[in-house]
Amino acid sequence: MKENMNYGNIDEKKLNAFMLKATEDIASTLSAMLVIIGERLGIYKAMAVSGQPITSEELARKTNTNERLIREWLANQAAGGYISYDPTNRKYSLPPEQAMALADENSPVYLQGAYQAIRSYFKDEDKFVEMFKSGKGLRWGEHHHDLFEGSALFYKPSYVGNLMSSWIPSLEGVEKN
């Protein structure tokens, strides 16, 4: 049975503002998946190692991927500010700041673990739906493994950067060697 919706009076400005916000969220979600793909295929690392502006053809060869899809991936990443595009030579580059966050697993600002953790939420969708229906919680160990791996990868730079230099030395009664 189809239910009739009662919308009342629609404020077009509010509707348009909401539609813009929702569209931005949808675009962010799609771009997040392309960030994950960029990491999985080694695209960011290839760009970082190159250190030079690169064409879609060159990048596809370096990463053993399809040039047309790489071209579309590059366009998305440039539009989102993740990479830079120079229309005069039709080449793309990964700025050093983005390389730190997207290509260097040992960087203190590496973000790829957060994207992997986010991916786990989509894989756990059915579990969340059941949780909302039943009211029962979801144990940490019941999540998709991407949550654990992504969390470890995301927090690794902080652990590596702080464990020996500040956390252990701050403990009382621990000898500093």
| Burial letters 18-32, b for 16+ CB under 10 A, else e | eeeeeeeeeeeeebb
Contact indicator for 92, 59 with CB cutoff of 8 Å: yes
Contact indicator for 117, 36 with CB cutoff of 8 Å: no
Q: Would you state the pLDDT for residue 176?
A: 59
Which residues of the chain form CATH 1.10.10.10? 22-102
DSSP one-letter code for 9: S
Per-residue pLDDT of the chain (177 residues; tens, 9 = 90+): 678 888 889 999 999 999 999 999 999 999 999 999 999 999 999 999 999 999 999 999 999 999 999 999 999 999 999 999 999 999 999 999 999 999 999 888 999 999 999 999 999 999 999 999 999 999 999 999 999 999 999 998 888 877 777 877 888 776 656
Note the Cα 141 to chain centre separation in Å. Answer: 22
In whole angstroms, what is the distance from residue 94 CA to residue 59 CA? 12
Q: What number does CATH give the domain 22-102?
A: 1.10.10.10
Q: Would you state the pLDDT for residue 25?
A: 93
Q: Would you state the pLDDT for residue 170?
A: 82
Q: Would you state the pLDDT for residue 38?
A: 97
Q: Would you state the pLDDT for residue 116?
A: 94
Q: Would you state the pLDDT for residue 172?
A: 75
Q: Would you state the pLDDT for residue 104?
A: 94
Q: Would you state the pLDDT for residue 175?
A: 67
